[in-house]
């Protein structure tokens, strides 16, 4: 009976195989051509096949070779979710709220990812970032974003 | 054309007030991020790339280069004073540097690091000026087959010198190459992996990808092991070195410079590997090796010289061949492309002001760093008091707005966020992100040259071994691979990275 001796590598190898299958699957419309006249699909498909091979090797290795593995740091899901999702919300809100409120909200939200943040510090930092980004990016570097967007009454434009 | 007129031309560019200013800003920023742990040169350069769009190409590249070698200086300061290496390249400096500081010789250690770095930087810059033009002249004769083989060598060597499992590093390169194939196919004009999104016609934006993989992902990792930093630093006195100190560091500085200059040229090499190797060498041959680990000045001089030399010479393959050897160089290649310059052997002849200006600026930048670092040491130490929970939201804020400003569209922010998740998942599975970025940058060039070579040879793959130059390059790649797979070396490699 085969036993998985290195769970991390087993998952890693499987992930690489999944990535290659995705590239092959989404690229099945692309013309592969032949090695003389390669079509647009040739390079990605050959690479994907190679990556499947490597993924299989990594998985086989994870069944054969055991490792002494240092345990991971405990997962901090709050931090992951905040840090990954806050930029997405920033992108969605920017054109509606404008730079200043969006930056304020994003920095404020993302600060909560740290266990040392206090609300006074966070609000001060968020204000500082909102003001300095408006000065730096809309005034000095004249990026085409307004400080306040159409969703903000009176100030927005 | 002799080298003096070239250097004069470079001086004319580098000493323009605006370029001096951007060089200064780069060095200052570089030192700052070198001091701050958790913020490295790769992330910073990725973050600042959008800001450089509006600058002259010379100013932009001079500033970005300054950030890179400035970080080597800053990293050693905290390593010595508080045993906290700001950069991976100053990890070994911390061993003896911190001991020196505890013995009351912090000033001497800092001065050694600064002077050693300056000497190494000067030598390596001269080496770059001498070696780059002939190398580029050879590369001008390269056809598609030779270029393909050169890139294969570059990718193989970067795997060999990276830490961790070889198989996984190869997997990352191929993943990167695959990501590079997203976008419009140059030969046929067909769209690949676009999913009907017009923003993807030009491919994934590499600034957004690298900000996600290096900038945001680093924050996620740091938040997992968050510690409250408490810093107590004594006042630094006695920056002067004694005559005996000079006698002791002469040899280590020379050896560190030579070793670093050599290792920096290798793909995947650069600052970190150079400092580790120089420390290991001194530990073996130094007459004072018994003192190592207890505050030996040699153990500060050698790695600090080596990491600066390595940082400097890692520009050689990037400037002459257009092949980036490490993630920072990959970003520099990207910065050139954004400025409308095609990286490669033509840069020297077509953009002489840029090329020689950059070289001279590296020397003047190194000088600025010595002047900047020693008197301002108190300021840098005080920067350490900025707590991380105030730092990282600001970094994320700048990343968001930087990603937005690439194309004035929110799409690149989503790409950045997506790749921060991908990069984090990969690092959890112990895959290294650096080879992925190299593959991603080289992917389109690799594919283009492969297809052109095969077209020329009418589908005959032996073209890669029939050209002697290409055969040589592939042969070196095989040798490098063989060396890494050899059990004795792979054991040494593990030791070097775990030490």
> Which residues of B fall within a CB distance of 8 Å from A111?
389, 393
Mean pLDDT of each 10-residue bin along chain A, 157 residues long = 78 94 88 81 91 93 75 78 92 89 91 83 89 82 76 71
Most confident of A73-87, A96-110, B177-191, B219-233: A96-110
The closest CB to that of A61, out of B167, B190, B393, belongs to B167
Instruction: Note whether B97 and B76 are within 8 A (CB).
Output: yes
Confidence of residue B24 (pLDDT cuts 50, 70, 90): very high
The more confidently predicted of residues B474 and B407 is B474
Is the CA virtual torsion A51, B206, B365, B401 positive or negative? negative
Token pair 């992951």: residue? A80
- Flag whether pLDDT at B138 surpasses 80: yes
Put simply, the chain B residues between 334 and 393 with a CB less than 8 A from any chain A CB are: 387-390, 392-393
- Of the candidate ranges B157-161, B320-324, B438-442, the one whose mean pLDDT is the lowest: B157-161
Alpha-carbon gap, residue B280 to B78, rounded angstroms: 21
Single out the residue of B475, B484, B473, B401 nearest to residue B139, CA to CA: B473
Instruction: Note whether B253 and B302 are within 8 A (CB).
Output: yes
What is the model's pTM? 0.83
Q: Do B168 and A58 touch (CB under 8 A)?
A: yes
For B121-188, where are the E strands, in sequence order? 183-184
Confidence of residue B317 (pLDDT cuts 50, 70, 90): confident
The 3-state secondary structure of B338-363 reads HCCCCCCCHHHHHCHHHHHHHHHHHH
Put simply, the chain A residues between 18 and 77 with a CB less than 8 A from any chain B CB are: 19-20, 23, 26-27, 30-31, 34-44, 47-48, 50-51, 54-55, 57-58, 61, 72-76
Instruction: Note whether A54 and B170 are within 8 A (CB).
Output: yes
SS3 B202: coil
The more confidently predicted of residues B81 and B22 is B22
User: What is the average pLDDT score of chain B?
Assistant: 83
- Residue A96 C-alpha, separation from nearest chain B C-alpha, in angstroms: 12
What percent of chain B is predicted at pLDDT more than 70? 92
Where exactly are the structural domains of chain A?
A: 1-69, 76-150
Alpha-carbon gap, residue B100 to B256, rounded angstroms: 19
Q: Do A47 and B411 touch (CB under 8 A)?
A: no
Q: Do A125 and B223 touch (CB under 8 A)?
A: no
Token pair 């240092």: residue? A70
Residue B171's pLDDT is: 93
Tally of CB atoms within 10 A around B135: 18
Residue range B406-425, pLDDT digits in tens = 788 889 999 999 999 999 99
Residue range B6-20, pLDDT digits in tens = 888 888 888 889 999
Test the B interface: residue of A82, A84, A115 with most B CBs within 10 Å: A84
Give ipTM to 2 decimals: 0.91
Instruction: Note whether B67 and B43 are within 8 A (CB).
Output: no
Residue B499's pLDDT is: 42
Tally of CA atoms within 13 A in the half-sphere of B139 that contains its CB:
26
The more confidently predicted of residues A75 and B446 is B446
- Flag whether pLDDT at B229 surpasses 60: no
Test the A interface: residue of B145, B171, B185, B432 with most A CBs within 10 Å: B171
- Flag whether pLDDT at B49 surpasses 60: yes
Residue B418's pLDDT is: 94
């Amino acid at each position: 009976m085969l036993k998985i001796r290195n769970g991390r590598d087993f998952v890693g190898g499987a992930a690489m195989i999944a990535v290659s299958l995705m590239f092959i699957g989404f690229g099945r419309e692309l013309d592969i051509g032949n090695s003389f006249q390669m079509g647009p699909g040739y390079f990605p498909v050959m690479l994907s096949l190679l990556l499947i091979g490597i993924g299989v090797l990594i998985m086989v290795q994870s069944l054969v070779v055991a490792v002494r593995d240092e345990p991971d740091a405990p997962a901090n899901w709050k931090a992951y979710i905040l840090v990954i999702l806050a930029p997405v919300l920033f992108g969605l809100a920017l054109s509606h709220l404008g730079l200043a409120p969006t930056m304020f909200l994003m920095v404020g939200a993302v600060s909560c990812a740290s266990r040392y943040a206090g609300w006074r510090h966070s609000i001060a930092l968020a204000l500082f970032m909102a003001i300095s980004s408006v000065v730096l990016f809309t005034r000095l570097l004249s990026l085409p974003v307004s400080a306040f967007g159409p969703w903000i009454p009176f100030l927005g434009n | 054309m002799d080298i003096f007129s070239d250097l004069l031309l470079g001086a004319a560019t580098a000493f323009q007030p605006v370029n001096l200013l951007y060089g200064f800003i780069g060095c200052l920023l570089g030192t700052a991020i070198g001091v701050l742990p958790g913020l490295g040169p790769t992330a910073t350069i990725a973050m600042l790339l959008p800001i450089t769009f509006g600058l002259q190409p010379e100013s932009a590249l001079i500033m970005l280069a300054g950030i890179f070698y400035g970080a080597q200086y800053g990293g050693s300061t905290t390593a010595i004073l508080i045993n906290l290496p700001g950069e991976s390249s100053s990890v070994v400096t911390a061993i003896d540097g911190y001991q020196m500081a505890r013995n009351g010789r912090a000033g001497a250690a800092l001065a050694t690091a600064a002077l050693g770095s300056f000497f190494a930087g000067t030598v390596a810059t001269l080496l770059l000026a001498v070696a780059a033009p002939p190398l580029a002249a050879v590369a001008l004769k390269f056809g598609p087959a030779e270029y393909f083989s050169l890139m294969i060598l570059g990718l193989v060597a970067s795997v060999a010198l990276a830490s961790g499992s070889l198989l996984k590093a190869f997997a990352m390169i191929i993943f990167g190459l695959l990501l590079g194939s997203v976008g419009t196919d140059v030969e046929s004009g067909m769209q690949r992996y676009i999913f009907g999104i017009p923003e993807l016609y030009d491919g994934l934006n590499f600034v957004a990808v690298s900000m996600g993989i290096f900038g945001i992902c680093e924050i996620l990792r740091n938040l997992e092991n968050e510690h409250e930093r408490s810093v107590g630093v004594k006042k630094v006195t006695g920056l002067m070195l004694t005559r005996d100190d000079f006698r002791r560091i002469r040899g280590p500085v020379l050896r560190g410079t030579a070793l670093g200059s050599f290792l920096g040229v290798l793909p995947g090499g650069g600052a970190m590997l150079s400092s580790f190797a120089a420390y290991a060498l001194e530990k073996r041959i130094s007459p004072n090796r018994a003192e190592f680990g207890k505050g030996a000045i040699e153990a500060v001089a050698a790695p600090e010289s080596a990491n600066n030399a390595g940082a400097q010479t890692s520009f050689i393959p990037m400037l002459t061949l257009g092949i980036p050897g490490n993630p920072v160089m990959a970003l520099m290649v990207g910065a050139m492309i954004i400025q409308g310059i095609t990286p490669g052997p033509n840069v020297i002849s077509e953009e002489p002001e840029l090329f020689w200006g950059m070289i001279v600026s590296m020397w003047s930048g190194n000088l600025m760093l010595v002047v900047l670092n020693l008197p301002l040491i108190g300021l840098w130490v005080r920067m350490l008091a900025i707590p991380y929970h105030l730092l990282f939201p600001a970094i994320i804020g700048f990343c968001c707005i930087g990603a937005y400003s690439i194309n004035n569209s929110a799409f690149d922010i989503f790409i950045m966020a997506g790749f921060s998740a991908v990069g984090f998942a990969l690092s959890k599975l112990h895959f290294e992100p650096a080879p992925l970025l190299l593959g991603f940058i080289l992917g389109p060039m690799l594919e283009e040259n492969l297809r052109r070579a095969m077209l020329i040879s009418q589908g005959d793959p032996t073209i890669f071994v029939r050209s002697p130059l290409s055969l040589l390059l592939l042969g070196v790649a095989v040798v490098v691979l063989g060396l890494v797979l050899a059990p004795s070396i792979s054991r040494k490699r593990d030791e070097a990275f775990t030490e």
